Structure 1
Amino acid sequence: KYGRPLLGCTIKPKLGLSAKNYGRAVYECLRGGLDFTKDDENVNSQPFMRWRDRFLFCAEAIYKSQA
């Protein structure tokens, strides 16, 4: 479909980023040319980065990167 290999990454570090900074990393990756990003397998809801907050910031980053 794309005529080329897909390029993606796992966002690092898996711990320590706020949800907002995690979303910013997703945005930078997608604007930089990656096709997808993914969570590290063992990232879960942390007091400093709740799952729902991470999801909302990442969704916003995806929409902004496509504009």
Structure 2
Amino acid sequence: MSPQTETKASVGFKAGVKDYKLTYYTPEYETKDTDILAAFRVTPQPGV
């Protein structure tokens, strides 16, 4: 049997559910002229 190794992950890469404000929410963010808005349409497919 091979020896076990321990892997350390940073806060942003640990498995599990993270609080939204921990990684995405930035209340003081101000939009810039160079910001890009992307929109995607997702169409459900039967059996998927």
Same fold (TM over 0.5): no
Q: Which structure has more helix as a fraction of its residues?
A: 1
Between structure 1 and structure 2, the one with the greater Rg is 2
| TM-score, L = length of structure 1 | 0.22
| TM-score, L = length of structure 2 | 0.25
